[in-house]
A and B are shown apart, each in its own frame.
Chain A
């Protein structure tokens, strides 16, 4: 074990095409889980481990990152921004930071949700090293082969995984790696090249939280995992007759109106107006400035900022992005279905996925697995299913 690293580079330039419609207007790292962007979990994990000097490589939709993270002061860190103008691979992204990097540093992907414990013992490991973890579905990731703690190679998304140990993408390096960076390369390829040249890369295993979101419905399982750790808190107004069970967090200036029943774990943002007579079931996250009208039930769902949900709606296992206006009696029940994203089909157990700024008339029914693009409009009494591109009109 060496000295604790002083500096970390977080790669936050990627788009995350498979996560559309959510990544049309934001980079993958800004996807919100339990009311916090994934990037914030990474930054806070570093801060808690004493690493305050952070370089953020931004690119796709970088203003979203700048607006939220600012100078980093809010999170107890000091952020330097470096822009990757064109997305040409993760190694290229890392190369952008060359000018501001000190001798030794950590590299972390900004789009994997971790907590402080995940990297607690990795922050003092001598470079070069890679953090690895056992997972149930290794074929989705970069499977590693090791020889007594030394890395032999990484195979991305193999047809047949050799074992179930994968790369977390979290590494520690010295400035020597800049010699190995070539354009259009991703970091795993770069690492394989280094190993071929005889470089020794140590592996360290973690059993801490490391969650990846690949498809839009993954947001629900991450939301569930994170919410199971939250603590109850209240910054808003809770009217008489409201029941809060379990761990429920209510933000500043939010009003929870009478006879609303909230079963935690649940997080509700700031400036919201919930109720009266609304039921919120686990595990649900609601953003800021969102209105949920009477007799609506929201269960195991993620609702964004500035959303307006009318009365009598049933929302289960769904993800609704910011700014949606949904009139009364919207029904989105969860269920198994084949969902098509980015050209591929997947099996998913999910309700409705709504992009931002959608307007739904009253009594709209969503088939399980429907993906509604950004800014869509749906007339009343429609049944929606399948994949609706951005700006679709259903009438």
Chain B
């Protein structure tokens, strides 16, 4: 998936487009390009980062333009495949985020009609379709072109000689930033925050005609008024402020995230959402998510099963969309940080069709996922720029605890003491952060290896998956998470002195078993790094490297442990010289399947 921007106004478009694109780089960065229009259109694109393009570009004059930063899906990264794409005349330039599923058929048709293609992308069919239908009325041509297209798109079209941009949205996000005699279009709000905090969110099926002082939106052909929003978070939120990487900054924000989120939930008084009503005839509980959110979903399962004592299923949204069983008697929780994850959105639509009761947990207000569900629980992690998810995961866990606690089948005393423990969490997370120097040293040790295993049991089993994910995402070490009991059913064969094992030895009913697992691993000569609770001398002596974390009620231990694992991954990656915030081949919000 990619980031697209557009500008029309009274200032020079080039520097503005580049600045906006820079803010969207987290969406993809293998290549980029801009097109600026004066009397004709000039396009400049290449397989480089935006900063390098800024230096290489000659000055292109023009007060309207579009830009694109790419994460390749159809057609590898190359100069020809980079956007913007033009038609045969070079008078129409298009930037596109999404996937055109019937592009092959459309391309064949257009080629047979005499059109010349210069790339292998699906996106290139769009300018040629517009060219095909153009007979003087640009809006009509675009309408007819989009009718032929199947798939997802957020597009901005720049045409030579026209004093307006035309944008359209289906399934991929697109917003308009309103300025003073100038307007901005972008895939996401951070792109425009330097210029305005007034934003319109386009919805599926919308087309918008944007002039410098006028915006007209049509929904499926009919004129419509889209509400203007004021964005409350600031450019500040998108700056590193003294930290070397966004990821480290976001890890350090976690105590505040917990405190702010809890504060808001507690003061709201009411339960976060309606998880169950008396007399419910629900047969099935389902949590769906992708990536790190999937790990939060797994922890959610443990929380619900432990506190509410009903069985819960957890599915990967991408798999569920091809096979999953569901019915109207399903209560489903979908977790998506961005609210735009394609697999999650598809799952939501499917669940709605079947008549399921849906709750969405998301971090982005007014995201597509939130607008599709009746019950939304917003996490208050703030803007997360770094691709590897850290504080958003923490916030999702807090949301899950808060969602479930009102329905917990435990006595009031226990419920009260759990809430008291929750309030203590910011301080305990800060304690783990204060211990950073020790973890940094272990990161240096771990950075020497090419493989690693993470093992955990019970509510910390999903943590072992998350720890492995973070490590592989940013340090490129091949790491696998396993339920500790599973290791000897196969993966043991991989253990040697070259495969360190990171074991989460939580102080709960799995503790003794974990100690046994650690001994078994050590017998295979693998170095062991153990996450232990302070005061656990047995664990400390067994491990080669011990990371001690403060004690907390076992049901909250994932929140404390994950911070140690995030820091471990960060420092390991740092010692290996990895970029960290924007890992190779990854993008922040996966809006393609």
Complex: how many Å from CA A358 to CA B242? Answer: 31
Do the beta carbons of B427 and A66 come within 8 Å of each other? no
Shortest CB distance A79–B (Å) = 7
Do the beta carbons of A308 and B424 come within 8 Å of each other? yes
Assuming the contacts A66-B241, A79-B241, A306-B427, asked whether A73 and B236 have C-beta atoms less than 8 A apart, the reply is yes
Complex: how many Å from CA A66 to CA B244? Answer: 11
Interface residues of A in 256-284 (CB under 8 A from B): 270-271, 273
| Residues in A neighbouring B236, C-beta threshold 8 A | 70-71, 73-74
Assuming the contacts A58-B242, A73-B236, asked whether A357 and B420 have C-beta atoms less than 8 A apart, the reply is no
Complex: how many Å from CA A356 to CA B264? Answer: 24
Asked if A288 is at the interface (CB within 8 A of a chain B CB), the reply is yes
Asked if A21 is at the interface (CB within 8 A of a chain B CB), the reply is no
Complex: how many Å from CA A375 to CA B431? Answer: 10
Assuming the contacts A66-B243, A70-B236, asked whether A253 and B249 have C-beta atoms less than 8 A apart, the reply is no
Of the candidates B253, B262, B263, the one having the most CB atoms from chain A within 10 angstroms of its own CB is: B263
Complex: how many Å from CA A91 to CA B235? Answer: 34
Assuming the contacts A66-B243, A291-B420, asked whether A322 and B263 have C-beta atoms less than 8 A apart, the reply is no
Do the beta carbons of A323 and B427 come within 8 Å of each other? yes
Shortest CB distance B591–A (Å) = 29
Assuming the contacts A63-B252, A66-B252, A305-B427, asked whether A71 and B239 have C-beta atoms less than 8 A apart, the reply is yes
Asked if B509 is at the interface (CB within 8 A of a chain A CB), the reply is no
Assuming the contacts A63-B433, A66-B249, A67-B253, asked whether A306 and B423 have C-beta atoms less than 8 A apart, the reply is yes
Asked if B352 is at the interface (CB within 8 A of a chain A CB), the reply is no
Assuming the contacts A63-B252, A66-B241, A71-B241, asked whether A357 and B267 have C-beta atoms less than 8 A apart, the reply is no
Complex: how many Å from CA A308 to CA B249? Answer: 28
Do the beta carbons of A306 and B252 come within 8 Å of each other? no
Per-residue contact bits, chain A 54-94, to B (CB 8 Å; 1 contact, 0 not): 00101001110111011101100001010000000000000
Interface residues of A in 90-116 (CB under 8 A from B): none
Cross-chain contact of A73 among B235, B259, B434, B436 (Cβ < 8 A): B235
Do the beta carbons of A66 and B424 come within 8 Å of each other? no
Shortest CB distance A257–B (Å) = 13
Asked if A25 is at the interface (CB within 8 A of a chain B CB), the reply is yes
Cross-chain contact of A288 among B242, B263, B264, B430 (Cβ < 8 A): B263
Cross-chain contact of B256 among A25, A67, A74, A375 (Cβ < 8 A): A67
| Residues in B neighbouring A71, C-beta threshold 8 A | 236, 239, 241
Assuming the contacts A271-B263, A271-B266, A308-B420, asked whether A357 and B550 have C-beta atoms less than 8 A apart, the reply is yes
Assuming the contacts A81-B242, A357-B550, asked whether A306 and B426 have C-beta atoms less than 8 A apart, the reply is yes
Complex: how many Å from CA A270 to CA B430? Answer: 18
Shortest CB distance A141–B (Å) = 30
Per-residue contact bits, chain A 212-254, to B (CB 8 Å; 1 contact, 0 not): 0000000000000000000000001100000000000000110
Do the beta carbons of B241 and A69 come within 8 Å of each other? yes
| Residues in B neighbouring A73, C-beta threshold 8 A | 234-236
| Residues in B neighbouring A74, C-beta threshold 8 A | 236
Shortest CB distance B418–A (Å) = 13
Do the beta carbons of A306 and B550 come within 8 Å of each other? no
Cross-chain contact of B424 among A79, A323, A375 (Cβ < 8 A): A323
Asked if A45 is at the interface (CB within 8 A of a chain B CB), the reply is no
Assuming the contacts A71-B241, A253-B263, A306-B259, asked whether A289 and B423 have C-beta atoms less than 8 A apart, the reply is yes
| Residues in B neighbouring A306, C-beta threshold 8 A | 259, 423-424, 426-427
Interface residues of A in 17-52 (CB under 8 A from B): 25
Asked if A5 is at the interface (CB within 8 A of a chain B CB), the reply is no
Complex: how many Å from CA A357 to CA B427? Answer: 7
| Residues in B neighbouring A325, C-beta threshold 8 A | 420, 424
Shortest CB distance A254–B (Å) = 8
Assuming the contacts A66-B241, A271-B262, A289-B262, asked whether A255 and B427 have C-beta atoms less than 8 A apart, the reply is no
Complex: how many Å from CA A71 to CA B256? Answer: 16
Asked if B428 is at the interface (CB within 8 A of a chain A CB), the reply is yes
Do the beta carbons of B256 and A289 come within 8 Å of each other? no
Do the beta carbons of B263 and A270 come within 8 Å of each other? yes
Complex: how many Å from CA A271 to CA B420? Answer: 13
| Residues in A neighbouring B426, C-beta threshold 8 A | 289, 305-306, 323
Shortest CB distance A239–B (Å) = 13
Cross-chain contact of A356 among B249, B256, B266, B427 (Cβ < 8 A): B427
| Residues in A neighbouring B263, C-beta threshold 8 A | 252-253, 270-271, 288-289
Cross-chain contact of A67 among B252, B264, B428 (Cβ < 8 A): B252
Closest chain A residue, CB of each to CB of B235: A73
| Residues in A neighbouring B267, C-beta threshold 8 A | 236-237, 253, 255, 271
Complex: how many Å from CA A74 to CA B259? Answer: 19
Do the beta carbons of B434 and A25 come within 8 Å of each other? yes
Cross-chain contact of B423 among A56, A63, A291, A375 (Cβ < 8 A): A291
Of the candidates A56, A63, A273, the one having the most CB atoms from chain B within 10 angstroms of its own CB is: A63
Shortest CB distance B311–A (Å) = 34
| Residues in A neighbouring B266, C-beta threshold 8 A | 253, 271, 273
Shortest CB distance B385–A (Å) = 13
| Residues in A neighbouring B239, C-beta threshold 8 A | 70-71
Complex: how many Å from CA A253 to CA B267? Answer: 5
| Residues in B neighbouring A79, C-beta threshold 8 A | 241-242
Assuming the contacts A66-B249, A67-B253, asked whether A305 and B242 have C-beta atoms less than 8 A apart, the reply is no
Of the candidates B252, B424, B428, the one having the most CB atoms from chain A within 10 angstroms of its own CB is: B424
Shortest CB distance B509–A (Å) = 23
| Residues in A neighbouring B420, C-beta threshold 8 A | 291, 308, 325
Per-residue contact bits, chain B 260-285, to A (CB 8 Å; 1 contact, 0 not): 00111011000000000000000000
Do the beta carbons of A70 and B241 come within 8 Å of each other? yes
| Residues in B neighbouring A357, C-beta threshold 8 A | 427-428, 431, 550
Of the candidates A252, A253, A308, the one having the most CB atoms from chain B within 10 angstroms of its own CB is: A253
| Residues in A neighbouring B550, C-beta threshold 8 A | 357, 375
| Residues in A neighbouring B241, C-beta threshold 8 A | 66, 69-71, 79, 81
Complex: how many Å from CA A61 to CA B435? Answer: 11
Do the beta carbons of A322 and B423 come within 8 Å of each other? no
Closest chain A residue, CB of each to CB of B259: A289
Shortest CB distance B233–A (Å) = 11
Shortest CB distance B55–A (Å) = 23
Complex: how many Å from CA A79 to CA B243? Answer: 12
Complex: how many Å from CA A71 to CA B243? Answer: 10
Complex: how many Å from CA A308 to CA B266? Answer: 15
| Residues in B neighbouring A63, C-beta threshold 8 A | 243, 252, 433, 436
Closest chain A residue, CB of each to CB of B234: A73
| Residues in B neighbouring A252, C-beta threshold 8 A | 263
Interface residues of B in 147-185 (CB under 8 A from A): none
Complex: how many Å from CA A57 to CA B472? Answer: 35
| Residues in B neighbouring A271, C-beta threshold 8 A | 259, 262-263, 266-267
| Residues in A neighbouring B436, C-beta threshold 8 A | 63
Interface residues of B in 397-426 (CB under 8 A from A): 420, 423-424, 426
| Residues in B neighbouring A253, C-beta threshold 8 A | 263-264, 266-267
Complex: how many Å from CA A61 to CA B241? Answer: 15
Complex: how many Å from CA A42 to CA B424? Answer: 30
Closest chain B residue, CB of each to CB of A289: B259
Shortest CB distance A56–B (Å) = 8
Complex: how many Å from CA A288 to CA B267? Answer: 13
Rank and list the top 9 A-B pairs by shortest CB-CB distance, nearest first: A323-B427, A271-B263, A253-B267, A81-B242, A66-B242, A73-B236, A70-B241, A306-B427, A71-B241
Known: A67-B253, A67-B256. 6 other contacts (CB 8 A): A58-B242, A66-B252, A306-B427, A322-B430, A323-B424, A357-B431
What are 27 A-B residue pairs whose CB atoms fall within 8 Å in the complex?
A61-B434, A62-B242, A63-B433, A65-B242, A66-B241, A66-B242, A66-B243, A67-B253, A70-B239, A70-B241, A71-B241, A79-B241, A81-B241, A237-B267, A252-B263, A253-B264, A253-B266, A253-B267, A271-B267, A273-B266, A288-B263, A291-B420, A291-B423, A306-B427, A308-B424, A357-B427, A357-B428
Interface residues of A (CB under 8 A from B): 25, 56, 58, 61-63, 65-67, 69-71, 73-74, 79, 81, 236-237, 252-253, 255, 270-271, 273, 288-289, 291, 305-306, 308, 322-323, 325, 356-357, 375
